[in-house]
Amino acid sequence: MTNMIQTTGLVKRYGEVVALDHLDLEVPKGSVLGLLGPNGAGKTTAVRILTTLLVPDEGSAEVAGLDIRKEPDKVRERIGLSGQNAAVDEYLTGYENLDMVGRLYHAGKKKSQARARELLERFDLLEAGDRPAKTYSGGMRRRLDLAAALVAEPDVLFLDEPTTGLDPRSRSQMWETIQELVRGGSTVLLTTQYMEEAERLANDIVVIDRGRMIAHGTSDELKVEIGGERIELILANSADIPAGRSILAELSGGDVQVDEHTRNLTAGVTGGAEALRQVLQRLAEKDVAVADIGLRRPTLDDVFLTLTGHGAEEATETSEDDKEGSGSGRDEIREKEAVR
Amino acid sequence: MTRLALAFADGAVVAKRNLIKIRRVPELLIWTTMSPIMFVLLFGYVFGSSIDIAGTNYREFFIAGVFAQTVIFGASGTGVGMAEDMTKGIIDRFRSLPMARSAVLVGRTGSDILYNSISILVMSLTGLLVGWRIRTSALEAIGGFLLLLLFAYAISWVMAYVGLKVPSVEVVQNASFMFIFPMTFVANTFVDSSQLPGPLRTVAEWNPVSAVAQAAREAFGNTGDLPEPEVWSLDHPFLYSLMWIAIILAVFIPLSVRQYNKATTK
Ligand SMILES: Nc1ncnc2c1ncn2[C@@H]1O[C@H](COP(=O)(O)OP(=O)(O)OP(=O)(O)O)[C@@H](O)[C@H]1O
Ligand SMILES: [Mg+2]
């Protein structure tokens, strides 16, 4: 299968900051690549380079088989972009914005007007369509920007955090729209901070940090990479914690993480359901009362936190102490799971 | 489509967008028309009552100068508009579309012609009130108006370049004032340049603004009994103005387009 996006050794520096550090990407036709990474990792920089808004310092890239340096004009005919900040004209109405974009893709008057109406409808903006975009809410502006990216039904779509700021309904509508486009043969590169979004849409996930690729694979592959399944046990009584801990330790042969407060015990295991059955049996033998127990696989959140090793906010000034950050981040996740 | 046709077609789309903004914010237009009225009244009554240029009626003489000065101020709006555009997200949208690289500039300078046409119209009407008259044929007068607009269009490209070079609205405004005041005052706009002392006279006589004002004055028949200017530039003001317009456009169109591409890919 041909790659619709291919980059080799992309480098972009801003003074001392290396925003992209020899980034290689490959996105086959008709697939979705999820680009993940903490704030400042270089996601937007990569998108801007691939959409010809920015010229890389080193390396090369092809989009739809066209060199972004040599034929930027031709690349622009084939792509749609929805950047991190909505790129709409606030004095124009939603309709006028979309019509203008259609004209600039040289679609012709009739076609671009029809397309503008169609997209307003698809993005639930028909009612607001004749109001200046200035009066739109943040989410409406975002949707208008996404609509603008789709005006020309582009072969390659770049979406930089497309659903940030959208309400749950708009978000799932957006996901459906993207999936529909991909079924129609479009290729998508999207960045996101929502693991659920990456999981649902992306065939392939690339995690970058400080401009470098640090992991690559499907979400399942990435989860396997950071370790297998976990048993999560919530005890009814705090008094049973030592007993529960020793049972889990015995069967997992590894560390047991304990949260005294929530009486939540977690341990990585191999053997899946069989391991779970054994734990339950031992717990029954020792008369330990169980509030809840389950087998769970690592989430993409676990993957993200393990790989990037620091919380999102500290991304820019990370140093050695970021192991602590990752520790607390994972505890939070565990607590969340426990509450469920 | 050829590149030129594309630049015009895309430029027209951008110009339409700029004009829609005027419709949404009509205050913009009100202020554009207020200052020309003020200029005509100020010069008409303040200077008109105190300055006397032998052989002419000052109220007829100065109006071509006010026209020239005001359209240059109007053209500085192009710089402000560009600087403002550059800070907006919409520029990213434009840059990711397969439109002509020059379209944003062609559109901006193009839509600013309308601003200047309106201010010339308003000034003409106010001028008629303070005693200005066209003493030639309609055709000649139209030639005068077109020359003023064409000159303003050329200056628009200079201002667009400035607006791209210093993308902050306030800086553009101050910078263009620094350049417009000497340019429009060391000229025959409001005084008879042949009466200026030494080097100032030379500068004024070869200043393209003088030629534009002189050409307009002749086109409107406002030169009265003034003697024919001796210096070549003012003796052939139309030709000399057109030469300047051609040079400015030839230099600043490519320069601005290049600067636009540079400023947006950093
Ligand atoms: N114009 C610029 N000048 C200087 N530094 C810049 C510029 N643009 C980006 N950077 C730096 O490059 C790095 C990568 O930025 P980028 O916007 O690509 O991150 P990101 O992954 O999109 O982050 P986020 O999740 O916050 O959107 C950051 O350290 C940022 O500070
Ligand atoms: Mg970003």
pLDDT at A302: 66
Q: Residue whose CA is closest, atom 22 of ligand 1? A: A44
pTM recorded for the entire structure? 0.82
Measure CB to CB from residue A100 to each of B17, B92, B264 and give the nearest one. Answer: B17
Handedness of CA A231, A237, A243, A245 (dihedral sign): positive
B60 burial class (0-12, 13-18, 19+ CB within 10 angstroms)? buried
- Give the helix ranges, DSSP H, for A253-315: 272-285, 300-308
pLDDT band at A253 (very low <50, low <70, confident <90, very high): low
Element spanning B142, H or E: helix B138-165
Closest CA to A45 of A70, A18, A80, A20: A20
Q: How far apart are CA A80 and CA A44, in angstroms?
A: 15
pLDDT for the residue B232 = 93
**% of chain A surpassing 90 pLDDT:** 57
Query: Of A248, A247, A244, which is closest to residue A236 (Cα–Cα)?
Result: A244
Q: Which residue has the tokens 């990792």?
A: A41
A14 ligand 1 Cβ < 6 A: yes
Cβ density class B220-245: b for 16+ within 10 Å, e for less: bbbbeebeebebebbebbbebbbebb
Asked if the C-beta of A188 comes within 8 angstroms of chain B's C-beta atoms, the answer is no
Give the separation between CA B73 and CA B181, rounded to whole angstroms. 9
Taking the CA of residue B153 and the nearest CA in chain A, the distance in Å comes to 24
The reply to whether ligand 1 has any atom less than 6 angstroms from the CB of A291 is no
Measured in whole angstroms, the distance separating CA B84 from the mean position of its chain's CA atoms is: 20
CA angle (A22, A25, A26) in 5-degree steps = 155
Of A86, A88, A91, the CB nearest to B25: A91
Residue-wise pLDDT for B120-171, tens only, equals 999 999 999 888 898 999 999 999 999 999 999 999 999 999 999 987 888 8
Tell me the average pLDDT of chain B: 90
Portion of chain A with pLDDT greater than 70, in percent: 88
> pLDDT class for A226, splitting at 50, 70, 90?
low
Evaluate whether B153 touches B74 at the Cβ level (below 8 Å): no
Between CA A212 and CA B184 the distance in angstroms is 56
Number of domains, chain B: 1
Given an 8 Å threshold on Cβ–Cβ distance, is A148 in contact with B93? yes
* Contact assignment for A85 to B89 by CB distance below 8 Å: yes
- For the CA of A42, the nearest atom of ligand 1: 18
Smallest CA–CA separation between A85 and chain B, in Å?
7
Most confident of A30-34, B29-33, B84-88, B176-180: A30-34
Structure tokens at A138: 């943040």
The whole-number pLDDT of residue B266 equals: 61
Distance A42 CA to ligand 1 centre (A): 6
Closest-CA distance, A221 to chain B, in angstroms, reads 34
Q: What is the pLDDT of residue B175?
A: 85
Q: Is A37 in the pocket of ligand 1 (CB under 6 A)?
A: yes
Give me the residues near ligand 2 (ion), CB cutoff below 5 Å.
A 43-44, 84
Distance CA A78, CA A67 (A): 12
How far does the centroid of ligand 1 lie from the alpha carbon of residue A3, in Å?
A: 26
Token pair 């200029």 in the structure block, residue: B39
Looking at residue A330, its pLDDT comes to 36
Q: Confidence band (pLDDT; 50, 70, 90) for B194?
A: confident
Ligand 1 centroid–CA A101 distance in Å is: 27
pLDDT band at B254 (very low <50, low <70, confident <90, very high): very high
The model's confidence at residue A339, banded by pLDDT at 50, 70 and 90, is very low
Which of the residues A69, A88, A104, A145 would you substitute to probe the B interface, choosing the one with the greatest number of B C-beta atoms within 10 Å? A104
Mean pLDDT, residues B16-21 taken together: 94
Q: What is the pLDDT of residue B112?
A: 93
DSSP string, A121-152: HHTT-TTTTTSBGGGS-HHHHHHHHHHHHHTT
How many contiguous H segments (helices) and E segments (strands) does chain A have? 12, 14
- CA A259 to ligand 1 centroid distance, Å: 37
Residue A316 has pLDDT above 50, yes or no: no
Higher per-residue confidence, A105 vs B167: A105
Q: What's the rounded mean pLDDT across residues A106-135?
A: 94
Given a contact cutoff of 8 angstroms between Cβ atoms, the answer to whether B247 and B255 are in contact is no
Could you report the per-residue pLDDT of B40-91, keeping only the tens digit for each? 898 888 887 777 777 778 888 889 999 999 999 999 899 999 998 988 889 9
Which of A76, A85, A91 is nearest residue B98 as measured by Cβ atoms? A76
Decide: B30 and B115 in contact? Cβ < 8 Å. Answer: no
A80 lines ligand 1 (CB under 6 A): no
Ligand positioned closest to the Cα atom of A212: 1
* pLDDT tens track for A182-191: 999 999 999 9
Cα separation, A37 vs A214, in Å, equals 9
Partner residue facing A92 (CB), from B17, B91, B94? B17
Provide, as residue numbers in chain A, all residues whose Cβ is less than 8 Å from the Cβ of B104.
none
- Is A63 in the B-facing interface, judged by CB distances under 8 Å? no
Q: Identify the residue with better confidence: A226 or A66.
A: A66
Average pLDDT of A244-254? 82
Q: Looking at residue A254, what is its pLDDT?
A: 66
pLDDT higher for B158 or B262? B158
H or E element in which residue A292 lies:
strand A290-296
Residue B242 has pLDDT above 80, yes or no: yes
Q: Is A183 helix (H, G, I), strand (E, B) or coil?
A: helix
> Which of B24, B92, B99 has its CB closest to that of A87?
B92
Residues of chain B in contact with residue A87, where contact means CB-CB under 8 angstroms, are 89-93, 96
Instruction: Quickly state the pLDDT bin for B228 (edges 50, 70, 90).
Output: confident
Residue A257 in contact with ligand 1 by CB distance below 6 A: no
Question: Cα separation of B191 and B83, whole Å?
Answer: 34
Best of A103, A105, A155, A159 to mutate (most B CBs within 10 Å, chain B): A103
Q: How far is the CA of A37 from the centre of ligand 1 (A)?
A: 12
CB-based contact A245:A266 (threshold 8 Å) = no
Where do we find the tokens 């000229």? B187
Q: Which is nearest to B55 in space by CA: B222, B210, B234?
A: B222
- The answer to whether the Cβ–Cβ distance between B13 and A104 falls below 8 Å is yes
User: Is the confidence at residue A212, as pLDDT, over 90?
Assistant: yes
**Percent of chain B predicted with pLDDT > 70:** 98
Amino acid at A175: W
Mean pLDDT of chain A: 85
Distance from CA of B150 to the nearest CA of A (A): 27
Residue count (chain A): 340
Interface contact A89, partner B, CB < 8 A = yes
Return the ∠ at Cα A140 (arms to A145 and A152), rounded to 5°: 30
Return the best residue to mutate from A13, A16, A17, A195 for the ligand 1 pocket (most ligand atoms within 8 A of CB): A17
CA of A43 to the centre of ligand 2 (A): 5
> Locate tokens 């981040």: which residue?
A329
Higher pLDDT, B50 or A161: A161
Q: Residue B37: which domain range?
A: 3-264
Q: Closest to A76 (Cβ–Cβ): which among B21, B96, B265?
A: B96
Q: Across the interface, do A91 and B97 touch by the CB < 8 Å criterion?
A: no
